[in-house]
Copies of this chain bind each other. A is one copy, B any other.
Amino acid sequence: MRQHLNLDVFQAIPLKAVRIDDRFWKPRIERNRQISLPYQYQQLKESGVLDNFLRVAGKTGGNYAGPCWMDSDAYKWLEAVCYSLSTHPDPELEAKVDEVIAVISEAQDENGYLNTYFQWVEPGRKWTNLGMGHELYCAGHLIQAALAHVNGTGKRSLLEIACRLADHIDSVFGPGKRSGLPGHEEIEMALVDLYRFTNEPRYLSLAKYFIDQRGNPDHRFRWELEHLDEIGYGSLNLNQQFYGTSENYNGAYSQDHLPVREQSEVVGHAVRAMYLYCGMTDLAVETGEYALIQALERLWENVTYRRMYITGGIGAAHHNEGFTHDYDLPNDTAYAETCAAVGMIMWNHRLLQLKGESRYGDLMERVLYNGFLAGVSLDGQKFFYVNPLLSIGKHHRQGWFECACCPPNVARLLASLGNYIYSQNRRGLAVHLYIQGSVQFYLTNGIPVTLIQETNYPWEGKIRFTVELAEPNEFALLLRIPDWRRKYRLTVNGRQLSASVINGYACLKRNWNPGDWVELELEMPVEIIKAHPLVWQNQGKVALQRGPLVYCLEETDHSSPVTQIMLSKEMEFRSEYHPELLGGVTMIEGEGFINELKEWENVLYRPIESRGPLKKVPLKFIPYFAWDNRDAGSMAVWIGELT
């Protein structure tokens, strides 16, 4: 297996081998563990997610609670907790996990079927509404949770449930059986992972089957639209809202418009798209299929060159929670769902393993520090579903949502962050993210090595690595040179050197001695960024970026709405770290201009020469991820240039 893959293909270092001891991330991961995860358990109880399982298990009655994909909230929470348990044993949290798994276990049918909505509300309609029913989606999340559970705790209780469900699905769908595919992708990547863990080839075949079904001429979801009345869905009648009528069905919403190998544009629901591309990438890693890899590259280029916010956020439109057309990136009405950011990180992480090219690591970093991290408040208790880049002051994080996909998605990414930092390949060890801590890995000859990483990233660009190993050994240390850097400097044991750069990684191949140290210094000036000229929403505007961080202005630091602020070409900026501000951030200060509003009393439009004088105002930029943690007010990432 995988012999088709080249020398640079990475294998992520598993969570348990990675320690995070970082000024920036450690407190966030701790808050996630100590506050978000217990808080979300409370929400699972209060929103009725757990009651749904109890109902099906015969332990309580009453009405099913929430949308039909409610089960997945529990699964994503379980997955998050199990990642956390793998690095931070916590008997109290583990007891809650066991309790929830016991409930899930009792809800599972004899034949392996498990989905509380269909079991409780529409038992006669299982597997009939693949477009919006979310049965396969929920199953995928169960499988991912089960793998996190067995990896994190060594217990197989959830894995057994997941395998029984996967086997049941495999008995229903596939060549010679019922044809079908999930409306919301997710199970594809879960099945590949289940195959990797169990070595059961049926799971890989089933993942490939679902991927191959997409965009085929049968168009299962159109068929469902045609038979809506006949099947008589109950509360699931969202199909027409999102897929249209059977006459105008085009499949874009669920990436069912074309066979996946022919796709070139990211379309439809952004989270669905990301999860599909994750599954396609996982499959490509296993099969090395060139047509699949080519499609993935076309899709990646489409989204990153034409359909992505500077924050890495994706999905411009509310109506489909997804993509629209090239260069359409409205700032105020941006959807940029937090879950789509999670999906974008997951997909880029997978592409990075497959291709070994730093551009995927660059994207992973951009999304992580901006579009993703804005999704959670500094106190870990409130979440954005939608992440606009401009607000007039009415958009705020919430504790929970009726459709609560985002909070546990944030939690599972934070809890598994260690998984995204390092990879190994046949050359040696690659560092994708600069996060203080350490990693233990084994050379191809079985020798263990510990790499210690020390840094004050993302506030400073200096990273120091120390190699710990018993005796000298040769391997390559590969350090991602971020796309945002201007200059960088590398020293080994204090001696500057110019390393060769392979696929965007500085490659330090040498015979390492115990205690050898490497310093990477990335220059981190304030960059003034322009968007592509066809992004009309950003015409005449600039954004500030420093290192991996996109900045914004908030009204609370200024005396007027930030939407009227303009920057001059001669602007100069000062960066300074403020330990007391927003949990500690580097603020960028400078000067801007605003119009004297008193010149504009009682006039809405006037000739340009009578617009009146401008006034200088001091400006304070904060990282975008930290906005909406103080007084409510306007916020803008893209700031007008002085004309």
Take A328-B392, A643-B643 as given contacts and tell me if A604 and B539 are in contact as well, using a CB distance cutoff of 8 Å. no
- CB contacts (< 8 Å) of A607 on chain B: these are 527-530
Among A5-13, A435-443, A560-568, the stretch in contact with B: A560-568
| Chain A 53-84 near chain B by CB (<8 Å), digits 1 or 0 | 00000000000000000000000000000000
In whole Å, how far is A267's beta carbon from the nearest beta carbon of chain B? 16
In whole Å, how far is A592's beta carbon from the nearest beta carbon of chain B? 12
Contact A605 B540 (CB under 8 A): no
Take A641-B643, A643-B540 as given contacts and tell me if A564 and B605 are in contact as well, using a CB distance cutoff of 8 Å. no
Take A527-B607, A533-B595 as given contacts and tell me if A602 and B301 are in contact as well, using a CB distance cutoff of 8 Å. yes
**Whose C-beta in chain B lies nearest to the C-beta of A595?**
B533
Contact A529 B608 (CB under 8 A): yes
- CB contacts (< 8 Å) of A527 on chain B: these are 607
Q: Please, how many residues of chain A have a CB less than 8 angstroms from a CB on the other chain?
A: 50
Q: How far is the CA of A559 from the CA of B561 in the complex (A)?
A: 37
Q: Does A594 contact B (CB under 8 A)?
A: yes
In whole Å, how far is A533's beta carbon from the nearest beta carbon of chain B? 4
Contact B530 A608 (CB under 8 A): yes
Contact B597 A540 (CB under 8 A): no
Q: Does A103 contact B (CB under 8 A)?
A: no
Q: How far is the CA of A569 from the CA of B642 in the complex (A)?
A: 12
Q: How far is the CA of A308 from the CA of B542 in the complex (A)?
A: 28
Choose one: B534, B564, B566; the contact of A563 (CB below 8 Å): B534
In whole Å, how far is A368's beta carbon from the nearest beta carbon of chain B? 17
Contact B605 A569 (CB under 8 A): no
Take A534-B563, A640-B539 as given contacts and tell me if A310 and B605 are in contact as well, using a CB distance cutoff of 8 Å. yes
Number of copies: 2
Q: Does A157 contact B (CB under 8 A)?
A: no
Q: Does A306 contact B (CB under 8 A)?
A: yes
Q: Does A606 contact B (CB under 8 A)?
A: yes
Q: Which of A498-543 contact B (CB under 8 A)?
A: 527-536, 539-543
Q: Does A473 contact B (CB under 8 A)?
A: no
Q: How far is the CA of A6 from the CA of B619 in the complex (A)?
A: 53
Q: Does A611 contact B (CB under 8 A)?
A: yes
Contact B603 A564 (CB under 8 A): no
**Whose C-beta in chain B lies nearest to the C-beta of A366?**
B605
In whole Å, how far is A92's beta carbon from the nearest beta carbon of chain B? 39
Q: Does A197 contact B (CB under 8 A)?
A: no
In whole Å, how far is A543's beta carbon from the nearest beta carbon of chain B? 8
Q: Which of A547-585 contact B (CB under 8 A)?
A: 561, 563-564, 566, 569
Take A328-B392, A569-B643, A641-B540 as given contacts and tell me if A530 and B606 are in contact as well, using a CB distance cutoff of 8 Å. yes
Q: Does A398 contact B (CB under 8 A)?
A: no
Q: How far is the CA of A551 from the CA of B56 in the complex (A)?
A: 65
**Whose C-beta in chain B lies nearest to the C-beta of A527?**
B607
Take A328-B392, A539-B563, A539-B564 as given contacts and tell me if A604 and B528 are in contact as well, using a CB distance cutoff of 8 Å. no
Given A310-B604, A534-B600, A569-B643, 6 more A-B residue pairs with CB atoms under 8 Å apart are A306-B604, A330-B332, A529-B606, A529-B608, A530-B605, A531-B604
Of the A-B pairs whose beta carbons lie under 8 Å apart in the complex, a sample of 10, sorted by A's number, is A310-B605, A328-B392, A528-B608, A529-B605, A535-B604, A540-B540, A540-B541, A540-B643, A543-B605, A641-B643
